[in-house]
Chain A
């Protein structure tokens, strides 16, 4: 049965007899790659469009309908040296892209209006101290109103909507004072213009919107970029399943094209990409990605298998089930729901600031009005002064204080290999003083490796690796990879459930179970030394050897754990794996607090216990069983190899094999929180200086504009410092 690759799920009809597909491409980073790919793909006849998007690392392709198989593009890109896979825009990403375009449109309108209103305001300001006649001033004010009012109505939408949403749920966010400030400033300016007054604040109001939209757009585009990268990584995992399209006919299709009820084939050495139940076959499966347990589980008819399980020995037929049907998954979903509800209680720094800020500012403005009336000023003058207070305190700097730092810090984290899933994770991460690590897949790598390679003669290792190429068993595959074997031995025979054997120069070579190779004694000795390893034996005539194969620790795990301890962060390990395995890992890493055989509910209980003591816990885990505790923790992180559910639940996702991004993320977030607080204080100090001036009633539009842009620029410049952190790793 030879499977064909079927990518028709991703092909879209572009109209005019053309088909369209988007591919995520790995490793495109320069102008050279871009033209190489575009030229290479355009050379295929009937291709009408091949365009690389370097920002998103994607290629858009169009060709004449029915002439080409999309698999050909992927092969062509592989020839050119790039790994590619069809890509489907997730709903969330499409929404973000649309929102980002809307923000850019708003920003364009606001910037246009600001520039033109400024052009009209400067003559008024200079005219007020020289020889401008009132009619000219009124004319300029009316022109400003003509530009500023429609522009603010359009460009202010993001703020007005968000403020309205907050108010209708009886909340206050930063957009409420912004909206009130802008609307009052515009309204007062119109009234003043009608009354032929000297001052109008159209410029201040529209400039405020422009500055804030810059912050919003930066924030949005960073988030969009992170999401695009995450989407690409998901696509490049190239999760396919071998689906039965007829009784004996199979086809390799992307996971997105599989529906509940379909039957898929799972061969030895393959990772299951779907949730389902075994309907035929017998095998052993490795569920370490799901439960953290490294010991293999027997699978037969009726056994539930989950996406991420690795099939070890036999071929299985699996009927795909709808999500969350299995008992394990149902239990995890229930725990996850509870934990997510608890999490939404966290209040962001920006919202905490605005909860304090809005009442204080509005009270000050009201007191100013009443104060001036008591001092004998007219209601009109008092209200104008009160609105001036609102304008000058309008949280321009405050609105930029946090998003600018977040944008810069998330860019820096992105370069360090950390993706942010949620916007407020930076501030939560900065508070962490206790980290709980899962062991399997988090401290260790998901790939198997040979741990006793140094104790085996090189030629034996090489020969065993060559023999291992004949087997599909994942342990054998790990051995072949470790020995860097390329040439399989001729005439190798696989004995099901036992191992492989071959004859070389009259000697018989065997690789497999210790009993198959007469190495039981040797194997039990090694097993005592390293109880969690899988033992594979090799015999060359009379001589026999054993290889210990297990998941190795991440290369820099030990250094990173001590780096965390150096930062006064307590580290502990909670694992669903057996005790000896966890003990060995904890000892190797120098972690004294560890628990083995922990269930998902126990993990949550431990987190709650730590929370009750007032510690801020970060959970780092990858398994499906970690998902509830990832949600329960103050903040959470997953490796990119994690189960889907865990990755979606975690606040941050880190890429690559090293553990270094975890430490880098903590450093960057601590610096970022420091800068956010500094920025908030800068805004407070600015208000402290500006408010008395506003209350005294001597503020002119010129002073308002200068103060506003001055404080915004100061805050933005301070935010740029989030790009770097002091290197404390050495």
Chain B
């Protein structure tokens, strides 16, 4: 039964990590747009690369 001395704090510690993780995700606004987040996961590509491509159309060399 001495093993409880390790197991109980370990279990509580893991639970606490989960709780801290939840509070952090809440604070960083991850629950602000639940519907959008669901769809973002299956979106095709990241929009962040778009401006670099679209900003300089003239630099495309003819092949």
Contacts and interface: CB of A to CB of B under 8 A. Distances in A.
B40 A56 contact: no
B12 A55 contact: no
Nearest to A53: B33
Contact of A43 (B4, B36, B42, B54): B54
B31 A104 contact: yes
A251 to B, nearest CB: 31
Nearest to B16: A112
B39 A31 contact: yes
Interface string A41-56: 0111101001011111
Contact of B8 (A35, A39, A101, A143): A143
Contacts of B43: 31, 34-35
Contact of B50 (A30, A43, A54, A116): A43
Contacts of B32: 53, 55-56
B44 A35 contact: yes
Given A53-B32, A112-B18, A105 B11 contact: no
A168 B36 CA distance: 43
Interface in B1-29: 1, 4, 8, 11-12, 15-16, 18-19, 22-23, 26
A218 B36 CA distance: 19
Given A30-B39, A53-B32, A45 B51 contact: yes
A54 B40 CA distance: 10
Interface in B23-63: 23, 26, 31-36, 39-40, 42-45, 47-48, 50-51, 54-55
B50 A42 contact: yes
Contact of B40 (A31, A44, A108): A31
A55 B19 CA distance: 25
Given A55-B32, A109-B19, A119-B11, A34 B55 contact: no
A38 interface: yes
Nearest to B54: A43
Interface centre among B19, B36, B44, B47 (most CB of A within 10 A): B47
A136 B1 contact: yes
Given A53-B33, A56-B33, A108-B19, A38 B12 contact: no
Nearest to A37: B47
Given A34-B40, A104-B26, A143-B8, A54 B33 contact: yes
A108 B47 contact: no
Contacts of A44: 51
Contacts of B36: 34, 52-55
B5 to A, nearest CB: 10
Nearest to A43: B54
B15 A115 contact: yes
A39 B11 CA distance: 45
Nearest to B55: A45
Contact of A42 (B1, B8, B19, B51): B51
Contact of B48 (A42, A108, A119): A42
Contacts of A119: 11
A119 B11 CA distance: 9
Contacts of A120: 8
B26 A101 contact: yes
A147 interface: yes
B47 A42 contact: yes
A51 to B, nearest CB: 9
Contact of B39 (A39, A43, A54, A112): A54
A35 B23 CA distance: 28
A493 to B, nearest CB: 47
A350 B15 CA distance: 35
B7 to A, nearest CB: 10
Contacts of B51: 42-45, 47
A120 B9 CA distance: 12
| SS of B interface (majority) | helix
A55 B34 contact: yes
A293 B50 CA distance: 54
A320 to B, nearest CB: 36
B8 to A, nearest CB: 6
Contacts of B31: 101, 104
B13 to A, nearest CB: 11
A42 B46 CA distance: 11
Contacts of B40: 31, 34
Given A42-B48, A112-B19, A143-B8, A105 B39 contact: no
Contacts of A147: 12
A137 to B, nearest CB: 12
A108 B12 contact: no
B28 to A, nearest CB: 12
A120 B7 CA distance: 12
B21 to A, nearest CB: 10
B35 A105 contact: no
Given A52-B36, A54-B35, A31 B42 contact: yes
A388 B45 CA distance: 58
A109 B26 CA distance: 12
Interface string A539-553: 000000000000000
Nearest to B39: A31
Nearest to A119: B11
A108 B15 contact: no
Nearest to B32: A53
Given A39-B47, A43-B55, A108 B26 contact: yes
B48 to A, nearest CB: 7
Interface in A428-479: none
A136 B2 CA distance: 11
A51 B27 CA distance: 18
A134 to B, nearest CB: 13
Contacts of A108: 19, 22-23, 26
A53 B32 CA distance: 8
Contacts of B42: 31
B35 to A, nearest CB: 4
The 8 closest A-B pairs by CB, nearest first: A54-B36, A31-B39, A112-B19, A53-B33, A38-B47, A39-B47, A54-B35, A43-B54
28 contacts: A31-B40, A31-B43, A34-B36, A35-B43, A35-B45, A35-B47, A42-B47, A42-B51, A43-B54, A43-B55, A45-B51, A45-B55, A52-B36, A53-B32, A54-B36, A54-B39, A55-B32, A55-B33, A55-B35, A56-B32, A101-B31, A105-B23, A109-B19, A112-B15, A119-B11, A136-B1, A143-B8, A143-B12
Interface of A: 30-31, 34-35, 38-39, 42-45, 47, 50, 52-56, 101, 104-105, 108-109, 112, 115-116, 119-120, 136, 139, 143, 147
Given A34-B36, A105-B23, A143-B12, 14 more contacts: A31-B39, A34-B40, A42-B51, A43-B50, A43-B51, A43-B54, A52-B33, A52-B36, A53-B36, A55-B33, A55-B35, A55-B36, A112-B15, A112-B18
